[in-house]
Structure 1
Amino acid sequence: MIKFPDNFLWGAAASAPQTEGHSLTNGKSATTWDEWFEQNPEKFNHGQGPQDTSNVYEMYKEDVANMPRVGMNSYRTSISWARLLPDGRTLNQEAVEFYRDYFQTMLDHNVEPIVNLFHFDMPWWLMKEGGWENRKSVDDFAFYAKTAFEQFGDLVKTWSTFNEPLVHIECGYLYQFHYPAIVDFKKAVQVGYHTLMAHVCAVREFRNSGADGKIGIILNVLPAYSRSDSAEDIKAKEAADLLNTYSFLDPTVLGVIPEKLITLLKDNDLLPYVDAADNELIAKNTVDYIGINYYQPRRVKAPDNSVKKARMPSDLYESYDWPDKKINPYRGWEIYPKALYDVAMMMKDQYHNIPWFVSENGMGVADEQRFMGDDGMIDDQYRIDFMKEHLEWLHKGIEAGSNCFGYHVWTYVDCWSWLNGYRNRYGLYSVDLDNGFKRTVKKSGLWFKQLSDNNGF
C-alpha cells in the first residue's frame, strides 16, 4: 500500500473559460478567445468556441455536489477577469454573487477552493491596448487581483496568480496557437517579463490586504533531459532550463532573476525593458507555494545549425525524439512518470523545499465513447493506469523528503480546450454535449474515490 501524507489534497483542476460557458452574457465582456472565434471560427475544432463550454455557470451546484462522490477534497478553478471586471474597473455584481455562491457551495461540501486569477483569458479591452506587451497591464492585473481578494478573501484561503504563464507567452508570441498569434522572440520575452511583474504586484496586493491564507503560482516546469552528455547538448539543456524553468521559478521562489538567463538574453539582444524598482519588488514578493502542471517531459539536443543571434528558442535548443518513449497517440505526448520524481527532487534541492503540489496531471483521449459499457459508464482504465504510474514516482519523491502536499488531475468534468474544442477528453466525469451537458461518472472517478478514501492505493 502506497500511503500519502496526512491532509493530502486530492482533487482536480479546471478554468473559468474552459468550463463556465455564458461567455458573452451575464455581464461578462469579451476575451481574446471570444474575439478570435468570431474572427476566425475555422481555427477551432468542429466550430466549438468558448460560448458554451461545459455550462458550469448553470450547473455548478450539481458539479460541486458530485465532487465528494469521486473523493475530491479540493478543486482549483479560475475567476474570469472579464466577468468580474468587464471594463477593467467596474465590478459586475452578478459575477460576485455567482463566484461567492460557487465557492461557498464548495466549502459546504468540504471541498477547498483553490482559486486562480488568470488562465489564458486576456480581456479584449486590454488586448486592444497591447495586452501583456503594454506595461500598463501590470497595474491593471494588480487592481483585478486586489478586487478579487476583497470580494472573495473570506471564502478563499489558497490563491494562485497565473496558470502556466509560459503558455500564453509561447503560444501567443512564438507558435501562433493563441491570439495574437505572432512570431517575435523579443516580444515574447517582454510579454514574459510583464507577466512576471503582474504576478509580483498581485502578490504584493495580497500581502497588503492582510488576507488570511497563502498565494502561489501554477507553472508547467520540469528539468530538461538532454540527448547526451556532450558539451553541446548540455549547453542546449541549460538554455532550455533557463528559459522554461528557472525564468519563473527563481524569481517567484528565490526572489531573483538568474544571472545566466540575463546573460543569455543579453547575448541575443532579447533583454526586456524594465523599471528601476522591479528587482526590489521581485525580492520582496515571493510565493508561499508552487503548483506544478506535468504532462510530458522536455527532451532537448543542440541545434543542428548554429546562429549568431537566436531568433527562436529552437536556435538555442531543439526537441529530441527519444527512441524509447512511450506515447499518448491522441496528443502525441510522451508518457514519462519518472519526471515527477525529478521535479520533486528539484523542488527539494534547488528551491528550499518549498511546499508544492501537482496542480495538473492527466491523459487526454479522443472518442472515449468507444469505451462505454452497457451500464453507460466509460471504462477508462488507461487513465487509472496513467495516474497510478505517476503517483508511484511522486510518492518516491515524497519519501525522499520533498514537500508535496497534493495531487490534482486535469480535469473534473470534460472541458473545452482552446483550439481543440472537445476533441480530447480528460474528465473524471463525461459531458454529453448533445444531451443537456449531462454528467456521467467514469471508471476513473470511482477509482479516484478509493484513492482519496485510502489516502493511497
Structure 2
Amino acid sequence: MSKLGFTRAEFPEGFAFGTATSAYQIEGVKFGGCGESHWDTFAATPGNVERAEDGWIACDHYNRWEEDLDLIRDAGFDAYRFSTSWARVMPDGESVNGEALDFYDRLVDGMLARGIRPFATLYHWDLPSALADKGGWTNRDVAAWFADYSRTVMARIGDRVEATATINEPWCVAWLSHFMGIHAPGLRDIRAAARAMHHVLLAHGTATQALRAEGIDNIGIVTNLEGSDPVDDRPETLAAHARNHAIYNEWFLSAVFKGEYPEAALEGLEPHLPTGWQEDFATIQAPVDWLGINYYSRHRIVNAGGPWPQIGYADAVEETTAFGWEVTPHHLTNFLLWASREYSGDLPIHITENGMAGHDYLLDGEVPDPQRIKYLRDHFAAAKAAMDQGAPLAGYFVWSLLDNYEWAHGYDKRFGLVHVDFDTLERTPKASWHAMKEALKSG
C-alpha cells in the first residue's frame, strides 16, 4: 500500500488524478504584456497583503512552464487544472493581447504532448483594473464582459481543452471580497456584496450560454464549500449556523441547479439585490456538464450578535494546518453526497481543489511534509468513502502543484507539492510529491 493509502486501481478507469494552480498565483504579471488587475492595486495598498507582496514575478511560470509541466507528468498526474488570466488576455478589459493567447496555446499543447489532460478555469480572481474602474462585479455589465472574454480564450484553446470551468469560487469573488473585504477589491459593503453575489452567477450563466453557442461543451462551475458546525444547540447559534451555510454553501448551488436563493441568506441580502433579480435565473440556470467542489476545512460557528448575519467563529479544536484551518476530512464525504443528492444529481463531480498549507522547509535538498501526506491520505479516503456511497466523483485535483502567491497572505503560506525558493525560483519536489508519484504508479 502506498503512503497515501490508495492505489490507482481502486478508482474507476478514466478517473482524473490531477493537480491545480491559478494564473495570478504562479505566472508573473511582469511578463508577456499582462495588464493590471484589481489584485495588483489591492496588493499595492498598505495593510491588505502580508509584506505588501504581489504577483509581479510569482513563480515565473510564464517562462518556466515547460519545467512545471514536466513535474506534473513525472508525478504521474493525468490532468492539470490551470486558469487563464483575464488581465493578461485583455489588459485594458477590451482589446486582446495576442501574446497571452499564444502563451496559453503553447501551454495546452505542452500538456497534450506530455499526456496531460487540460482542465481550464476562465476566472480565478484577476479582474482587469479597467473593468474594476467601471464597478467590476457590482456592475451588471460584467456578465457581458466576462462572456466576451470567455469566447476569446476558448476560440483559441477550446478545441483542445477537456473541461472548462467558468468561475472559481464565486463565494470568494463576491462575499469574501465585497462583504468581508479580505480579497480584492477589499470592500465591506452589503449592497456591493449582494450585487456581486448575483452578478457572478449571471456572468457564469451568460458565459456558459455564449460558449455553447460557439460549440464548446463540458462546461462546469467551481464552488468552494466550507464545513461548519454550531458550537451549541441554542436557537441563536443554530440560526447563525444556518445563515453561514446558506451564504457559503447553498447560495451558488441553489441558484445554478434550482433557480432560487436560500431564504436564510435572502433575509439579509434581498433588500440589496438589483431590481428584477428573479428574472435572471433563466440565464443563471444554463445547464452545466459537471460540478467542481473545492474543500479544505471547517469553522465552528457562534452567534456574534450585532447586525445581520451575526456569524462568528470559535477557536479550532481539531488538528490545524499552517493556515490555522481545522483538518476535518469527514466533511468532504458529506459534501460530495449532499451536493449530488440536493443539487447536481448524476452529473460528474470533480474535487477541483483540496490540500493544505504547511510549514515546509528545504533540508539537505529535500522537503519533508508528513502532515500533508497524512492530510491527503485522509481526504482521499474520505473521497473514496463518498464514492462507495454513490457519489459520482470523476476527479481529484490536489492544490497546489507549486508553492505560490497565496493572495492576502503573500508567499508565506505554502500549499505546494513542489517547494519553490522565491529568491532563486528553484523547484524541489516535496515528500508529498513523491508519495503521489508512488500512489499513482501503484495498482
Q: Does 1:249 align with 2:253?
A: yes
Per-residue deviation at 1:223? 5.1
Q: In structure 2, how many angstroms separate the alpha carbons of the residues matched to 1:262 and 1:33? A: 28
Q: Residue 231 and residue 86 in structure 1: after superposition, are their counterparts in 2 closer, same or farther (change >3 A)? A: same
Q: In structure 2, how many angstroms separate the alpha carbons of the residues matched to 1:131 and 1:229? A: 40
What is residue 132 of structure 1 aligned with on the other side? Answer: 137
Q: In structure 2, how many angstroms separate the alpha carbons of the residues matched to 1:218 and 1:78? A: 12
Per-residue deviation at 1:408? 1.1
SS of the residue corresponding to residue 297 of structure 1 reads: strand
- 4+ residue stretches of structure 1 with deviation over 4 A? none
2:372 to 369, 383, 386: 383
SS of the residue corresponding to residue 162 of structure 1 reads: strand
- Aligned 8 A contact 1:81 1:123 in 2: yes
Please tell me the root mean square deviation across aligned C-alpha atoms, in Å.
2.0
After TM superposition, the structure 1 = structure 2 runs for residues 8-407 of structure 1, keeping only pairs within 5 Å, are 8-21=15-28, 23-38=29-44, 40=45, 43-211=48-216, 213-222=217-226, 224-252=228-256, 254-258=257-261, 260-261=263-264, 263-265=266-268, 269-274=271-276, 277-283=279-285, 285-301=286-302, 303-305=303-305, 310=308, 313=309, 315=310, 317-321=311-315, 324-328=317-321, 330-351=322-343, 352-366=345-359, 368-369=360-361, 372-374=362-364, 376-407=365-396
For 2:442, the aligned partner's letter is N
Q: TM-score, normalised by structure 2?
A: 0.92
- Aligned 8 A contact 2:31 2:62 in 1: no
**Residue-by-residue CA offset, 1:226-268 (whole Å, 9 max, x unaligned):** 234444333333222221111101222x2411352575246x7
**Residue-by-residue CA offset, 1:301-354 (whole Å, 9 max, x unaligned):** 3x25365xx2xx3x2x332435x42222x2111111111111121023212143
Per-residue deviation at 1:110? 0.9
Quick check: 237-246 or 118-127, which moved more? 237-246
Q: Residue 245 and residue 262 in structure 1: after superposition, are their counterparts in 2 closer, same or farther (change >3 A)? A: closer
- Aligned 8 A contact 1:265 1:271 in 2: no
Per-residue deviation at 1:271? 3.3
What is residue 435 of structure 2 aligned with on the other side? Answer: 447
Q: In structure 2, how many angstroms separate the alpha carbons of the residues matched to 1:292 and 1:214? A: 16
SS of the residue corresponding to residue 293 of structure 1 reads: strand
For 1:384, the aligned partner's letter is I
Paired residues in the alignment total: 435
For 1:185, the aligned partner's letter is I
Q: Residue 419 and residue 318 in structure 1: after superposition, are their counterparts in 2 closer, same or farther (change >3 A)? A: closer
For 1:414, the aligned partner's letter is D
For 1:169, the aligned partner's letter is A
- Aligned 8 A contact 2:78 2:117 in 1: yes
Q: In structure 1, how many angstroms separate the alpha carbons of the residues matched to 2:49 and 2:237? A: 37
For 1:204, the aligned partner's letter is Q
Unaligned runs of at least 5 residues, structure 1: none
SS of the residue corresponding to residue 250 of structure 2 reads: helix
Q: Residue 271 and residue 91 in structure 1: after superposition, are their counterparts in 2 closer, same or farther (change >3 A)? A: closer
Per-residue deviation at 1:196? 0.7
Unaligned runs of at least 5 residues, structure 2: none
Percent identity, please: 30
Q: In structure 2, how many angstroms separate the alpha carbons of the residues matched to 1:259 and 1:419? A: 29
Q: In structure 1, how many angstroms separate the alpha carbons of the residues matched to 2:276 and 2:150? A: 22
Quick check: 191-200 or 425-434, which moved more? 425-434
Per-residue deviation at 1:452? 1.7
Q: In structure 1, how many angstroms separate the alpha carbons of the residues matched to 2:429 and 2:374? A: 17
SS of the residue corresponding to residue 409 of structure 1 reads: strand
Q: TM-score, normalised by structure 1?
A: 0.90
- Aligned 8 A contact 1:64 1:105 in 2: yes
Q: In structure 1, how many angstroms separate the alpha carbons of the residues matched to 2:52 and 2:236? A: 44
Q: In structure 2, how many angstroms separate the alpha carbons of the residues matched to 1:439 and 1:233? A: 46
